[in-house]
Amino acid sequence: MSILTLAGVSKRYRDASGRSHRVLSHFDLDIGRGEVVWLRGQSGSGKSTVLNIAGLLSTQDSGTRHIDGQDLTAPTQGLAAETRRTKIGMVFQHSNLLPELTAIENVQIASIVKRTEKDVMERLSELGLAGVAQQQAKQLSGGQQQRVAFCRALVNDPVILLADEPNSGLDEKNTTSIRNALSAAADRGCAVLLASHTSAFETIVSRTLDMEDGRIG
């Protein structure tokens, strides 16, 4: 069963001078449960735009969008928010954690069901974060923050995980932790869409799609 389907998706934007630029052109994508799909391409190729549309953070100018069998081509704001909350996990280049909250609290606040500290601690431990679980996010290293962000993205057991350059600025040890987290999510049946210009994740991907100028090459 397809978890994410984008069909004929096109997107343009206007710069400060009012000129129109094409970002995506008749873009097609289909991802099934348990797949890890790598969107490979340089900055400006359209990868992030694909993830934003897949994550219901942006709308396409044309084409259709389905998530977990539901037509979300033009959802209401409420439906989009509910779908993001219950079905989509997102990890960006920057963790976007709440700096004053602890690692545990950052995960708990994202959960749609009440989870005990013990429950969250088990998830953080899987990413090697048990020792910093009670520290404020602002006290954590960049690699630790990114791993907390992964735990937060996966706390609701989403059907799709979107990761945009998730190892940006991370060393090999932390990149390995992120790679293992992506692979484990796929093993649990999550569909994973990864955007990256590096080869750090090539050993776990099911398919690689090369992007250039808003198209798959």
Q: Say which DSSP state 36 is in.
A: E
CATH number at residue 44: 3.40.50.300
| Domain-located, residue 4 | no
H or E, element range at 154 = helix 142-154
Q: State the total domains in the chain.
A: 1
| Domain-located, residue 144 | yes
| Domain-located, residue 175 | yes
Non-local (6+) Cβ contacts of 96 within 8 A are 149
- What pairing do the DSSP bridges indicate for beta strands 207-212 and 36-40? parallel
pLDDT at 204 over 70: yes
| Domain-located, residue 98 | yes
pLDDT at 117 over 80: yes
Query: Range of 81's domain?
Result: 34-59+77-216
| Domain-located, residue 190 | yes
| Domain-located, residue 170 | yes
| Domain-located, residue 55 | yes
Model confidence over 22-40: pLDDT tens digits? Answer: 899 999 999 999 999 999 9
Q: Between 142-154 and 117-126, two packed helices, what is the crossing angle to 10 degrees?
A: 120
pTM: 0.91
| Domain-located, residue 66 | no
Q: Burial of 114 by CB count in 10 Å (0-12 exposed, 13-18 middle, 19+ buried)? A: exposed
Model confidence over 192-201: pLDDT tens digits? Answer: 999 988 889 9
